[in-house]
């Protein structure tokens, strides 16, 4: 019944994700058992899928060179203290190398902005980014457009178009094996960091090298990563583009203003004034709203 209730709220979940959700809740049912329950539910509630084949322009681009296409994906890891820990993976579509990864307690825009900014500062900007239609990715469009990065969304109802669902599923399995079942946040963060190291430095079947004796060795994504870089973005411009957001607020007569989950106090000179709030990763800047 718990499986059926989970599928009532998330009817598009497959048996693998259902099992991972139950593993995080300390259930230990096998894949076969979970698959049978999901199949029984699917037969009783057939999903109304769109049978229309995707148009060619809806298909994400296949990478033929480094930093041509990046893919970004968010997934649930483990539920600790009533809250889900989320993993955000940003990987290159050509070398199968992680260019950015993080374990966070919420799917906030600030986390995704922080991850993307660090990746672009280290590797340069890609030509295109592939993602689904999640709100946290749609909110990245203003930043992406300023850097000239194209967005290649997957067609709704066709998750196979996302590299995270297809060719990169090994990363999901490695991550599940490392973090699933963790009950302590510190341990989950440590295991997630270890997963990134294992994925980056272990030989990958997609990259092979043959020596003079005909022996084949598997190169790690870190080796394939090499010194290749995307389009260079100046640090000053990168900082300006990836400011979190700009909002307008009204300071109350008592000098108080509420910003998300925080309360701010201001000098008397700003009481009753309309101010601009610029929020960055490490600072918040408040100034009087300019009028024309």
26: left (phi over 0), alpha (psi -120 to 50) or beta: left
103/92 Cα distance (integer angstroms) = 18
More confidently predicted of 37 and 244: 37
Mean pLDDT of all residues in 241-257: 76
β-bridge partners, 22:
none
Q: How far apart are CA 276 and CA 290, in angstroms?
A: 9
Give the pLDDT of residue 292.
Answer: 34
- Number of Cβ within 10 Å of residue 292's Cβ equals 2
Q: pLDDT class for 291, splitting at 50, 70, 90?
A: very low
Segment 23-50 shows an average pLDDT of 78
What distance in Å separates the CA atoms of residue 275 and residue 13, rounded to the nearest whole number?
44
pLDDT confidence of residue 277: 77
* 46 has pLDDT over 60: yes
Residue 278 sits at φ, ψ, to 5 deg, of -105, 120
- Percent above pLDDT 90 for the chain: 4
127/129 Cα distance (integer angstroms)? 7
pLDDT digits (tens, 9 = 90+) for 150-201: 988 887 766 666 766 554 566 666 677 777 677 788 888 888 888 888 878 7
Q: How far apart are CA 146 and CA 283, in angstroms?
A: 22
User: What are the tokens at 194?
Assistant: 């270890």
- Tokens 């060795």 correspond to 217
What per-residue confidence (pLDDT) applies to 125?
93
Q: Which of 154, 92, 102, 94 shows the shortest CA–CA distance to 124?
A: 92
Note the pTM of the prediction, 2 decimals. 0.63
pLDDT in tens, 107-145: 777 788 888 989 999 899 999 998 888 888 887 888 888
pLDDT at 54 over 80: no
């Amino acid at each position: 019944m718990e499986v059926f209730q989970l599928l009532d709220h998330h009817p598009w979940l497959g048996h693998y994700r259902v099992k991972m959700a139950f593993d995080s809740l300390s259930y230990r049912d096998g894949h076969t058992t979970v698959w049978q329950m999901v199949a029984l539910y699917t037969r009783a509630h057939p999903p109304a899928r769109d049978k229309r084949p995707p148009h060619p322009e809806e298909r994400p681009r296949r990478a033929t060179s480094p930093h041509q296409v990046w893919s970004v994906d968010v997934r649930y890891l483990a539920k600790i203290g009533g809250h889900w820990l989320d993993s955000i993976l940003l990987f290159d579509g050509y070398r199968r190398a992680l260019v950015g990864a993080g374990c966070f307690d919420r799917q906030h825009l600030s986390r995704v902005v922080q991850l993307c900014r660090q990746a672009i500062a280290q590797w340069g900007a890609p030509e295109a980014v592939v993602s689904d239609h999640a709100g946290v990715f749609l909110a990245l469009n203003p930043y992406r457009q300023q850097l000239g990065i194209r967005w290649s969304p997957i067609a709704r109802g066709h998750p196979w178009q996302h590299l995270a669902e297809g060719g990169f599923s090994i990363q999901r399995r490695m991550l599940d094996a490392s973090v699933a079942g963790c009950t302590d946040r510190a341990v989950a963060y440590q295991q997630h960091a270890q997963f990134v190291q294992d994925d980056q430095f272990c030989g990958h079947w997609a990259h092979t090298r043959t020596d003079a004796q005909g022996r084949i060795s598997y190169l790690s994504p870190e080796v394939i990563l090499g010194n290749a870089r995307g389009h260079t973005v100046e640090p000053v411009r990168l900082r300006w583009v990836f400011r979190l957001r700009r909002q307008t607020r009204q300071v109350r007569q008592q000098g108080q203003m509420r910003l998300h989950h925080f309360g701010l106090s201001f000098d008397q000179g700003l009481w009753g004034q309309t101010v601009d709030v610029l929020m960055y990763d490490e600072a918040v800047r408040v100034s009087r709203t300019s009028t024309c």
